[in-house]
Amino acid sequence: MNDSSTPGRTKALDHTTAPSGTTTPAHKTTPRRAPLRTLALAAVLAGMSLSALPPAAVAAPRAPEIYALTIRHLDRAGAATDAYRTHVTGVSGPGAAEEVTPHDDSGTVTVRLPKGRYLLDSTLSGPEEGSGTDWIVQPRLDLDRDTTVTVDARTTAPVDVRPQDPDARFVSGLGFVEVTHGGTTRSANVMAGPGLRVAHLGPDAEPGSVKEWFDTYWAGRGNDYALGYTFTSTRALTGLVRHPSAAALATVEIRRAAPAGETGTGFVSVQPSAGPTVGLVQPLRPLGTATVLVTPERGLWNVEYEGPAAPGTKPNRYAANGFAVRAGATTTHTFDNAVFGPALDTAPGARPAGVRDGAALSLDVPLLADGEGHVPSAPRFRAATTTLHRDGVLVGTRRGEPGRGTFTTTPGAASYRLTATATRGDGASPGGRVTAAWTFTSAATARPTALPLSTVRFAPALALDGTAPAGAGVRVPVTVQGAAAGSGVRSLTVSVSTDDAATWTRVPVVDGRAVYRDPAPGRSVSLRAELTDTKGNTLTQTLTDAYRTR
């Protein structure tokens, strides 16, 4: 990564920089996804076609033409400087596989490279503390002769992307550029403080071949800010000024629930969905809310939440990725709240919840997704089993992973019952029980085929401690996912228990909402759905101790 932080870069007292996967009780930034400098290399061989020549006439491959590239580096006073870091990366032609970082203390360096198209980026640091960083990008460097390039800090202009909040403090910033030519994309990046200046160098590239974005992150007293802008052009940017007002930004609220009364500090991060970036990370106490104002111009956004973990255990993570935002509007994501239950990925092209492949039958249903359907990376459970019956005869039982299991059965068509159960809780705190039982007919398949599985989601309005007001009449949204979603439901009934699932009462479902009254304070509410789809496949789903009253 082209990491050239300015000497004397300011760090806010409670906003620090940390590598991915670390946690501190302060705001921090984390690199995400892949290394910011992409090193995917494509080799292009030059030479004559051999198939057209008789064996005796085959010529040796011609060596690529080699040229001298001389790079001069000048600081903001126009003097030669050795305080630089320059990358030259091959994009196309015989030099496509080249990447060099030449340096000479004189400020002038020469490197010999094969003919081809190159991307050059150079970061220059000022001689004094706090004097700033200059990032100069030449997206199109056609090396077809001996060439001299001058990287001159006097050509740069400021990157000034900040909120109109006088109390906001700079946390981090990233500039990133992608250059595409001949079907190959190369990239460069810079991380620097608020004194960053940038400039384009050299001729224009082809239309639309240069994509660039700048992200800056700020900490305010009441809100934090994630400001990002993208550009597609023939040139790299020379300066960028954006001072968005609060009305021009979208609000993202992240709420941290604690239905089991858990303590400890979690962490929440917000970052754009597209492209490498750093993200704004901040601590979040139980029943807390983090508010981040973001730029709609940056596209879709991601939010991740990581809960506290006991020593020796994995932290539990949730994510809400790729959601749209709108200026002036608020998007809220609540993590780790009731009602916990099965949830399916409804995105186009998502992996099926169950698959039949030949004689193998597999289930992969998150049984303990939180109240908004976020799937936990390390669900808290005390016991879990998955069981398969074929024509009433037990095929097998799998233990230890909620909603997961693979079984080998026989090829012929048969009626199957697939049951998955998990008991919530970590052993120290009480937890309810989640059970989903599906029936369907299946036979061996020539290729992987989705099983006709459905789930039902319940979404009562709950406080962040997982409770609802006692005695209140409620209309709880009921959503069908999977094979029966949309018009695939033949029948659906909902029942409620207020005595720990000892007895059940069927309740009406009106306009997609279950209608009933919550019990007295301190009682639990259990929920059951019984569904039959239009092809005769069934689901019985029971959520014991789904939520409590206060």
Q: What is the pLDDT of residues 438-489, one digit of tens each?
A: 999 999 999 999 999 999 999 999 999 999 999 999 999 999 999 999 999 9
Pairing between β-strand 449-450 and β-strand 404-408 as defined by DSSP bridges: unpaired
Q: What is the pLDDT of residue 52?
A: 36
Q: Is residue 403 part of a domain?
A: yes
Q: How far is CA 213 from CA 88, 202, 257, 270, in A?
A: 20, 19, 34, 17
Residue 132 belongs to domain spanning: 28-49+64-218
Which of 306, 335, 364 is the last residue in one of the domains?
335
Q: Is residue 8 part of a domain?
A: no
Return d(Cα 394, Cα 366) in angstroms, integer: 23
Return d(Cα 210, Cα 29) in angstroms, integer: 26
> Do 173 and 253 fall into the same domain?
no
Give pTM, 2 decimals: 0.83
Contact 293, 163 (CB under 8 A): yes
> Do 32 and 160 fall into the same domain?
yes
Q: In 3D, which of 113, 194, 104 has the Cα closest to residue 151? A: 104
Q: Is residue 439 part of a domain?
A: yes
Return d(Cα 150, Cα 158) in angstroms, integer: 20
Q: CA torsion, points 541, 545, 546, 549, in degrees to nearest 10?
A: 150
Task: Specify whether the backbone of 387 is left (phi greater than 0), alpha (psi in -120 to 50) or beta.
Answer: beta
Helix, strand, coil percent content, the chain, rounded in steps of 5: 0, 50, 50
> Do 118 and 156 fall into the same domain?
yes
Q: What is the pLDDT of residue 128?
A: 63
> Do 38 and 147 fall into the same domain?
yes
Q: In 3D, which of 281, 300, 288 has the Cα closest to residue 29? A: 281
> Do 193 and 81 fall into the same domain?
yes
Q: What is the pLDDT of residue 31?
A: 38
Task: Report phi then psi at 249, rounded to 5.
Answer: -105, 160
Please list the ranges in the chain whose pLDDT falls under 50. 1-54, 56, 428
Return d(Cα 550, Cα 126) in angstroms, integer: 61
Give tens-digit pLDDT for 201-214. Answer: 999 999 999 999 99
Q: What is the pLDDT of residue 310?
A: 82
Overall number of domains in the chain: 3
> Do 377 and 268 fall into the same domain?
no
Token duo for residue 103: 């340096």
Return d(Cα 509, Cα 491) in angstroms, integer: 11
Q: What is the pLDDT of residue 60?
A: 60
Q: Is residue 349 part of a domain?
A: no
Pairing between β-strand 489-497 and β-strand 524-533 as defined by DSSP bridges: antiparallel
Contact 234, 209 (CB under 8 A): yes
> Do 323 and 188 fall into the same domain?
no
